[in-house]
Amino acid sequence: MNKAFACPPGIDVCQLREYVVRPALQRIEPIIPWSQKAENLVIGTGIHESQIRYVDQLADGPGPAYGIFQMERLTYEDIWKTYVPIVSGLRAKLLDLAGFDALALPPVTELHGNLFFAAAMCRVFYRRISAALPAADDAPAMARYWKRYYNTPLGKGTMEQALAAFQMACAA
């Protein structure tokens, strides 16, 4: 990426919700139920992680974090290895979103350009967490949840940095 080039703003949050995140989360139902709080958490994650404009981590790429939700390869692979096999029907739903047949797992780079698949994978990430999701309108709790589980205590991000993204997600 040419860092000297000033990129325009990212995807409109309301359109991301209406045309990408909600349909993607509804397509993995009933395996993983849709909820407003899950939808807001996924959207807030995208806003904070990439400003919903970068499809690869800003580094000499590709990766280590992929797509607008900035999922790392090891996380992606772990989901497919440890979680997808134990949730009946989830593999088929995810493969359908990725446009892959049952014989081939989508490469992590599918997160770059397939927004439906990337949104679903972000939701699957959060579904693995046993702690309840925060309320749909509680941006501070969502920012804390993101920090604890998505960014992790060892990550560079802070709850304070993420708060505005989750406020935007809850308001959109």
CB 165 within 8 A of CB 70: no
* The two structure tokens encoding residue 54: 């970068």
Closest of 25, 7, 1 to residue 125, by C-alpha = 25
Helix (H, G, I), strand (E, B) or coil at 71: strand
Query: Would you say residue 114 lies in a domain?
Result: yes
Query: Would you say residue 4 lies in a domain?
Result: no
Distance of CA 145 to the CA centre of its chain: 13
Query: Would you say residue 6 lies in a domain?
Result: no
Which amino acid, residue 58? Answer: L
What mean pLDDT do residues 65-72 have? 94
Query: Would you say residue 155 lies in a domain?
Result: yes
Which tens digits make up the pLDDT trace of 106-144?
Answer: 999 999 999 999 999 999 999 999 999 999 999 999 999
Q: How many CB atoms within 10 Å of residue 34?
A: 17
Structural domain of 129:
13-171
Query: Would you say residue 127 lies in a domain?
Result: yes
The pair phi, psi for residue 87, each rounded to 5°, is -110, 105
* The two structure tokens encoding residue 33: 């139920």
Query: Would you say residue 88 lies in a domain?
Result: yes
Domain count, the chain: 1
- What pLDDT, on the 0 to 100 scale, is given for residue 23? 97
Complete DSSP assignment for 103-127: T-PPPTTHHHH-HHHHHHHHHHHHH
Query: Would you say residue 166 lies in a domain?
Result: yes
Q: Which CATH number covers residue 120?
A: 1.10.530
Helix (H, G, I), strand (E, B) or coil at 66: strand
- What pLDDT, on the 0 to 100 scale, is given for residue 5? 42
Query: Would you say residue 162 lies in a domain?
Result: yes
Q: What is the pTM of this model?
A: 0.92
